[in-house]
A and B are shown apart, each in its own frame.
Chain A
Amino acid sequence: AQTVTQSQPEMSVQEAETVTLSCTYDTSESDYYLFWYKQPPSRQMILVIRQEAYKQQNATENRFSVNFQKAAKSFSLKISDSQLGDAAMYFCAYRSGSEKLVFGKGTKLTVNP
């Protein structure tokens, strides 16, 4: 079974600085997607970024980028120029041909002014 591991239960960053959230996963499949979701205190799950396993180029969305290392099964999220509104729980997720979206346990990000 596929598993997703986020080894950092909590992280903090100063406003305007850069922070990296870690994620590793375990799978025997070769074709899959990886996602980062953000969950602010409002509880809403918001897609931040997604990466296709077959693409070597790392995905970027404005201040958010990923470092995808397929051989190492690693998928970290980098947030540049952190803003107070970035404070939230961040979940790494994996989706394969079975269409299940499997989540990690999340990292709570605090942004300090």
Chain B
Amino acid sequence: DAGVIQSPRHEVTEMGQEVTLRCKPISGHNSLFWYRQTMMRGLELLIYFNNNVPIDDSGMPEDRFSAKMPNASFSTLKIQPSEPRDSAVYFCASSLATGRREKLFFGSGTQLSVL
């Protein structure tokens, strides 16, 4: 299994531009999570899906952020318009939605820099 695949690995953009981060979860996993990591705030959960349905998006910072999961094998996190304070590493993770015991498998993250 290739694991959780995220793209791009690095993204540099200018303030005001739209940014789209992509994630392919592990096949068979039906829970998907988006996290943001910064030095100041650590790892923050932005949103998570069960069976492609958003369950909790209370961590999404503001309306500029949106996430979709059109099918079981693909999810996107979009920032429009982007701001310098959005600079962070964004992680996607997936797990079997069979309860709290299951560990999360993380992708390698996308390093986002907004200039």
A-side residues, CB < 8 A to B, are 31-33, 35, 42-45, 47, 50, 52, 91, 95-106
Which of A32, A44, A104 lies at the interface centre, i.e. has the most chain B CB atoms within 10 A of its CB?
A44
15 contacts between A and B (CB under 8 A): A31-B100, A32-B100, A33-B101, A45-B106, A47-B103, A47-B104, A91-B42, A91-B43, A97-B100, A99-B50, A99-B99, A101-B33, A101-B104, A103-B43, A105-B42
**Please, how many angstroms separate the alpha-carbon atoms of A109 and B100 in the complex?**
27
Bound Cα distance A97, B41 (Å): 24
Query: Would A43 and B108 be within 8 Å (CB), given that A33-B101, A99-B50, A101-B33 are in contact?
Result: yes
CB atoms of A100 and B42 under 8 A apart: no
Identify which of B48, B97, B99, B108 contacts A100 (C-beta below 8 A): B48
Given contacts A50-B103, A96-B100, contact A103 B93 (CB under 8 A): no
A100 close to B45 (CB less than 8 A): yes
B: number of interface residues (CB 8 Å): 23
Judged by DSSP, the binding face of B is strand
> B residues bordering A, Cβ < 8 Å?
31, 33, 41-43, 45, 48, 50, 55-56, 89, 91, 93, 97, 99-101, 103-104, 106, 108-109, 111
Q: Find chain A residues with CB under 8 A from B104 CB.
A: 45, 47, 101
In the assembled complex, the Cα of A47 lies from the Cα of B95 at a distance in Å of 13
What separation, in Å, do the CA atoms of A33 and B108 have in the docked complex?
Answer: 24
New A-B pairs, 12, CB < 8 Å, besides A47-B103, A101-B104: A33-B100, A35-B103, A42-B108, A43-B89, A43-B111, A44-B108, A45-B104, A98-B56, A99-B55, A105-B41, A105-B42, A106-B43
